[in-house]
Amino acid sequence: MHLPQDTPRSRPEALRTLAVLDLGSGTFRLVLFGYWPERAYWLLDELREPVALGEGLSRGAIGEAALDRGRKALRAFADFVGALAPDEVVVLATSAVRDAHNGVEVLREAEGLGLSPRVLSGEEEARLGVLAVANALPLEDALVVDQGGGSAQVSLMRGRRFVWGEALPFGALRLTEAFLASDPPGKREVKALRKEVDRRLKALPLERGLPLVGLGGNVRAVARLHRKRHRYPLDLVHAYYLPRAGVEELLEEVLSLPLEARRELPGLQEDRARTLPATLVFLEALLDRAEVPGLWVSGVGIREGVLFTRLLPPPHLLPDPRAFAVENLFLRYPFSEAHRDRVKALARSLFRGLAPLHGYGGAEERLLLEAAHLHDIGMHIGYHEHHKHGAYLVLSGPLFGFSHREQVLLARLVRYHRRGKPEAKGYRPLLAKGDAERLKRLAVLLRLAEMLERTRTGRVRGVRVDLGERVRLFLEADGDPWVERLEAEKQAGLFLEAFGVGLEVAWEG
């Protein structure tokens, strides 16, 4: 296929492409992935059409206007796929096609355009959602809910494996049609909707107190609203925590707003305005039944679930999602692997040699080594300010297995690996007690490791740490590594500020 200009090309002979067409009840989406089996993947492109195919679903049939919108979207998708000719095309049909007696018309249209749609059962849809969550969030066990336009899949994940899942007729569009006829919704309508949701949820074997994960466009829309309202400093939805109080606050406001006013809410896509009240009522009921104080939001879902079945062998689980995310980003913006590995080795030696001073453990060492792994990715944009470019790239998208706090710390370490006084600035609300000092100390270690590799030639083979009234770093090298020693000595002031002792750098000839 013809690859977009920004596609990774260092191993083009191994790169495969996959297009996933998700014919949802609210939105049709096409996503184009590039991937190296068992190594890495990237989102290359996507199309989105708010077709509202589920219109009429509460009465058992897809409406004619919705069918027309679906036909137009399918023609666009088929044209896009035909132009790019990916290695594989997977077409998924969900609740609207599955449940409506005239859903077959959508299938015929797709087949006529050369597409081969597969109608997912409710359990299959739930399995793909759980697979995505298992690979993307740092959770072993969770209740997982995926609310689309026509149905909501509620599932149990244990040990990152699917245990059970059930599709309920609680899609945002279907609930809106069936219960919320008034604008804004009336109190009796909302009460009837809540009663029905409670009734069906009560029949499920929900385990109380497990982490709750929400996915799908409707849940992400609520998260974006909450994030905007509270001026959240990170522009990411994946791994965002949506507290119960936030759901209740939004629900109270939204139920007082007519549709036109809801369309003006900051951060809300226009097509979500109609179904927003139903989504919020559903989420509030689910939080009650699960007895949890909030939910984690997943930025990935069934489309990524399909990708993982191609990227990885059964059971399609990443052994370490966080390690995968770091390597995935490195492969997207690679620099010298030899330089990277030498900086990592030096950083590890410094961290372990200074352990009596910092007292940190495995979590901090891992974060330091991840920052060393990525410290020069900004060189892809340019040498000047590459530390800032690298920090931007770390925060430019979700990193699987990372919390937002960890992702911010990683970005700030990359940001300060060359110069500047390490600080969190606008990200302080996301950090924990002690993180300001943690950031400063780890940044000093990363910077020292980088300076000891300043010529990028591996002249400094290792470093020995001697603790006393001053910290002495003895460099292992064949000759006096003058540049590396000089550059490392320049960090003495920051080292003193971070660790409270002076620093001396010497060649161990």
Q: What is the pLDDT of residue 267?
A: 82
Domain segments of the chain: what residues?
16-120, 123-303, 321-457
Identify the DSSP state of 87: S
Q: What is the CA radius of gyration of the chain?
A: 26
Q: What is the pLDDT of residue 8?
A: 52
Helices (H) and strands (E) in the chain, counts: 20, 14
Fold of the 321-457 domain: Hypothetical protein af1432 (1.10.3210)
Give residues with Cβ within 8 angstroms of 230, minimum separation 6. Answer: 246
Reported pTM:
0.93
Domain 16-120 and domain 123-303 have a common topology: yes
Q: What is the pLDDT of residue 5?
A: 45
Q: What is the pLDDT of residue 54?
A: 84
Q: What is the pLDDT of residue 13?
A: 53
Fold of the 123-303 domain: Nucleotidyltransferase; domain 5 (3.30.420)
Whole-Å CA distances, 228 to 18, 268, 276, 284, 409: 33, 10, 16, 20, 22
Give residues with Cβ within 8 angstroms of 416, minimum separation 6. Answer: 387, 422, 439, 443, 446, 447
Q: What is the pLDDT of residue 56?
A: 84
Residues of the chain with pLDDT under 70: 1-13
Q: What is the pLDDT of residue 269?
A: 86
Whether the CA torsion 365, 366, 367, 369 is positive or negative: it is: positive
Superfamily of domain 16-120: ATPase, nucleotide binding domain (3.30.420.40)
What are 6-57's pLDDT values in tens digits? 455 444 457 899 999 999 988 999 999 999 999 999 999 999 999 989 888 8
